[in-house]
A and B are shown apart, each in its own frame.
Chain A
Amino acid sequence: MSVESKKVLYGLYNDEEDLKHAVKVAREGHLDIMDVYTPFPVHGLDPILGLKESRLHILGFIYGSIGAIFGFLFMSWALAKDWPILFGGKPYWPVPSFIPITFELTVLFSAWGMTLTFYTICGMWPGVKAKILDNRISDDKFCIAFDITQAESRMVSGLEDFFKRTGASEVHEKII
């Protein structure tokens, strides 16, 4: 998330199929797409755009494992080491009794860890001002954006040409 403002050239498409085709054409032509914005998750877009699979779920596993180990060790320490008490003649270290809470803490750590990581790596938080190119992107427009801050005018007209050819309904420039 750079602080400096960027000059962006973006085109809006009316349908996700048009968008997917345009992205494919852009990638074939080695155009450097800044980002693609859509109103809903478009399936099949990620491979065309060259996005690698998200590794968020691996983190989910790690957070969950931390929760499980922490929960189990804490209960073991508290009941068997720190202050051993006999509950109804049961052993000091009743492992089966620990299963429910260990499970709950696994889920708790995994869910919170993943969600907080998700918002952090996406740069999303209450009070973050979204850099919105067009209000209709969250409605029914599918957008491809190029960063043209340092682009020559020849390049810009080439991009405009690309939008026209791939069936973009509108092309705009904006500084964000």
Chain B
Amino acid sequence: MSQPVAPVRHVLIEGNKTYHQISEDLCAPTERAPSREWILAFSVASAFTALYAFAVVWTIWKGIGEWGVNRTINWAWDITNFVWWIGIGHAGTLISAILLLFRQRWRTGVNRSAEAMTIFAVICAGQFPLIHMGRLWLAFFIFPFPNTRGPLWVNFNSPLLWDVFAISTYFSVSVLFWYTGLVPDLATVRDRAVGLRRKLYEIFSFGWTGSAKHWQRWESLSLVLAGLSTPLVLSVHTIVSFDFATSVIPGWHTTIFPPYFVAGAIFSGFAMVQTLTVITRKALKLEDYITINHIDSMNKVIVLTGTIVGVAYLTELFIAWYSGYIYEQFAFYNRVFGIYWWAYFAMMFCNVVSPQLFWSRRIRRSIWWTFFLSIVVNIGMWFERFVIIATTLARDYVPSAWSYYRPTWVEIAIFSGTIGLFFFLFMIFTRVAPVVAIAEVKAILKLSGDQYIGPKAHREVQPVTQQEVIAKYQDQN
């Protein structure tokens, strides 16, 4: 047996690594002093986080009147940003859970950072429904708790309440999944550290020893959490789409929304993973672990989901025409050729046309193209949500109520501030925990390392058979 796996498999770990070298490479970013670039980027992210905090306090202090929303367009950038961030927060669970169930080994290179990204994106998303309530101090009314009003319960028929449950469940389950996966790697960092650093990692690694029984339970837990997260991730964006689909607003109440939103979420989530991956692998010197093959695989997912989203856009238009219902027809005519036509065409170009470039293998495997297109896709996905929300509301039933929406500086500050917050959290994460799952990479080394498979495999792999070993043992006896 010269090759343990089929030669069609891609090499996923390059550089002829040993187990020890993997620990060295992946723990190193947490052990060395931050680079000048990191400090610079972190300062920028911190400044935007401060701007975010300022704008949120401003909103709460002065009220929602500081935003550009009005009586007609009562949902605008707030809910657009919410849906955008929630969509981005889907890729991590998708990579970890669905690809784990499908036994896709390339997930091990990117799952840890994608999961972290999920959590940070959901943190950013969760802000918007809260602050758009206006009276933030009454936000606890969304939970069903025994109260002095009867008790009067929340409306369990409302998709907005389903959202509360879906997003809080999704956030907490993602944290459990991510942290449980992280514990063995934190133990690796702990065992390399001394002094105070060791004490801290002792606390955060929960006393992990690497016992065989613990590994067995850990794997069982990971598998079931993956099994649970798969329908969960689909349910979350389905429920987000219900916020619109169960309404009676033409342009919103369409049954295509759940699958269309889920595909869009995967699409934008993978684009954000690409943006971060391309920077992280370069900055932390992880090119041997997050290879061009990983980037290629993710770009294939992007071209697939981008095409699904494109089909959904066209289906929407067709069904509006085919329904013969003039209000529906007007809503979509207005969406394409109305006052916000530029947003519609930006969306179409960024989401449907631009990812088609990924049919070319050369572009799929180019770092620069990937980085550029991943940003284009995220801009496009932001426009998608803006188009659905603001342009639909801008032209409602009575022409006298028609209106136009422009964001104020407060809304722009909150949105750019959440981007700062997102990078702020992610950059801290790269400093304190291994961004690639160490144990999982070690577990696939002999199946996907370049010394074992691929054109550069230089070692004739001959795993010792059980009989040979026993024979050797008996000889020595």
Task: Tell me the residues in window 151-189 of chain B with beta carbons closer than 8 Å to chain A beta carbons.
Answer: 151-153, 155-157, 159, 161-162, 165-166, 169, 172-173, 176-177, 180, 183-184, 187-188
In the assembly, what is the distance between CA of A109 and CA of B203, in Å? 26
Residue of B nearest to A116 (CB): B176
Q: Which A residues touch B205, using CB under 8 A? A: 130
Q: Is the CB of A121 within 8 A of B191?
A: no
A32 on interface, CB distance cutoff 8 Å: no
In the assembly, what is the distance between CA of A101 and CA of B159, in Å? 10
Q: Is the CB of A56 within 8 A of B217?
A: yes
Q: Is the CB of B470 within 8 A of A83?
A: no
How many chain B residues sit at the interface, stated as a range, is 35 or more
Task: Tell me the residues in window 19-74 of chain A with beta carbons closer than 8 Å to chain B beta carbons.
Answer: 21, 24-25, 35-43, 45-46, 49, 51, 53-54, 56-57, 60, 64, 74
B323 on interface, CB distance cutoff 8 Å: no
A75 on interface, CB distance cutoff 8 Å: yes
Name which of B18-26, B50-58, B79-87, B133-141 contacts chain A: B18-26
Nearest CB in chain A: distance from B353 CB, A = 35
In the assembly, what is the distance between CA of A85 and CA of B207, in Å? 51
In the assembly, what is the distance between CA of A125 and CA of B220, in Å? 19
Per-residue CB proximity of A145-158 to B under 8 Å, as 1/0?
A: 00000000000000
Task: Tell me the residues in window 106-164 of chain A with beta carbons closer than 8 Å to chain B beta carbons.
Answer: 107-108, 110-112, 114-115, 118-119, 121-132, 135-140
Known contacts A97-B156, A111-B228: A126-B206 contact under CB 8 Å? yes
Q: Is the CB of B473 within 8 A of A108?
A: no
How many chain A residues sit at the interface, stated as a range, is 35 or more
B202 on interface, CB distance cutoff 8 Å: yes
- Give the contacting residue for A138; candidates B155, B161, B191; CB below 8 A: B191
In the assembly, what is the distance between CA of A169 and CA of B45, in Å? 48
In the assembly, what is the distance between CA of A94 and CA of B246, in Å? 15
Q: Is the CB of B224 within 8 A of A56?
A: yes
B460 on interface, CB distance cutoff 8 Å: no
B210 on interface, CB distance cutoff 8 Å: yes
Known contacts A38-B212, A79-B156, A139-B192: A118-B476 contact under CB 8 Å? no
Q: Which B residues touch A136, using CB under 8 A? A: 191
Nearest CB in chain A: distance from B259 CB, A = 16
Q: Is the CB of B153 within 8 A of A78?
A: yes
Nearest CB in chain A: distance from B443 CB, A = 4
Q: Which A residues touch B223, using CB under 8 A? A: 57
Q: Is the CB of A107 within 8 A of B156?
A: no
Q: Which B residues touch A128, using CB under 8 A? A: 206-207
Q: Is the CB of A114 within 8 A of B224?
A: yes
Q: Is the CB of A83 within 8 A of B152?
A: yes
Residue of A nearest to B217 (CB): A54
Nearest CB in chain B: distance from A44 CB, A = 11
Q: Which A residues touch B464, using CB under 8 A? A: 17, 21
Q: Which of B162, B173, B224 has the most CB of A within 10 A?
A: B224
Q: Which A residues touch B217, using CB under 8 A? A: 54, 56, 118, 121-122
Q: Is the CB of B150 within 8 A of A83?
A: yes
Nearest CB in chain A: distance from B162 CB, A = 4
In the assembly, what is the distance between CA of A115 and CA of B225, in Å? 9
Q: Which A residues touch B440, using CB under 8 A? A: 40
Q: Is the CB of B210 within 8 A of A107?
A: no
Per-residue CB proximity of B187-230 to A under 8 Å, as 1/0?
A: 11011100000000011111111111111111111011100110
Q: Is the CB of A79 within 8 A of B153?
A: yes
Q: Is the CB of B191 within 8 A of A112?
A: no
In the assembly, what is the distance between CA of A127 and CA of B169, in Å? 27
Q: Is the CB of B156 within 8 A of A98?
A: yes
Q: Is the CB of A56 within 8 A of B220?
A: yes
- Give the contacting residue for A100; candidates B153, B162, B176; CB below 8 A: B162
A9 on interface, CB distance cutoff 8 Å: no
Q: Which B residues touch A108, using CB under 8 A? A: 169, 172-173
In the assembly, what is the distance between CA of A40 and CA of B188, in Å? 10
In the assembly, what is the distance between CA of A101 and CA of B219, in Å? 28
Q: Which B residues touch A139, using CB under 8 A? A: 19-20, 23, 188, 191-192
Q: Is the CB of A138 within 8 A of B210?
A: yes
Q: Which B residues touch A130, using CB under 8 A? A: 187, 190, 202, 205, 207-209
Nearest CB in chain B: distance from A42 CB, A = 8
Q: Which B residues touch A123, using CB under 8 A? A: 207
Q: Which B residues touch A94, using CB under 8 A? A: 156-157
Q: Which A residues touch B208, using CB under 8 A? A: 124, 130, 138
B347 on interface, CB distance cutoff 8 Å: no
Q: Is the CB of A21 within 8 A of B466?
A: yes
In the assembly, what is the distance between CA of A38 and CA of B159, in Å? 47
Q: Which of B144, B202, B215, B232 has the most CB of A within 10 A?
A: B215
B1 on interface, CB distance cutoff 8 Å: no
- Give the contacting residue for B156; candidates A45, A75, A111; CB below 8 A: A75
Task: Tell me the residues in window 449-477 of chain B with beta carbons closer than 8 Å to chain A beta carbons.
Answer: 463-464, 466, 469-470, 473, 476-477
In the assembly, what is the distance between CA of A136 and CA of B156, in Å? 53
Report 27 cross-chain contacts, Cβ distance below 8 Å, ordered by A residue. Answer: A35-B212, A40-B184, A40-B442, A41-B439, A42-B212, A42-B215, A56-B224, A57-B223, A74-B144, A78-B156, A85-B155, A100-B162, A101-B165, A104-B235, A107-B228, A111-B173, A111-B176, A111-B177, A111-B228, A114-B225, A118-B221, A126-B203, A130-B202, A130-B208, A131-B209, A137-B209, A138-B208
17 more A-B contacts (CB under 8 A) besides A49-B212, A97-B157, A108-B169?
A: A17-B463, A21-B469, A36-B212, A40-B215, A42-B215, A45-B212, A51-B216, A103-B231, A115-B221, A121-B217, A124-B206, A126-B204, A129-B202, A129-B207, A137-B191, A139-B192, A165-B477
Report A's interface with B, CB cutoff 8 A. Answer: 17, 21, 24-25, 35-43, 45-46, 49, 51, 53-54, 56-57, 60, 64, 74-75, 78-79, 82-83, 85, 87-88, 90, 94, 97-98, 100-101, 103-105, 107-108, 110-112, 114-115, 118-119, 121-132, 135-140, 165-166
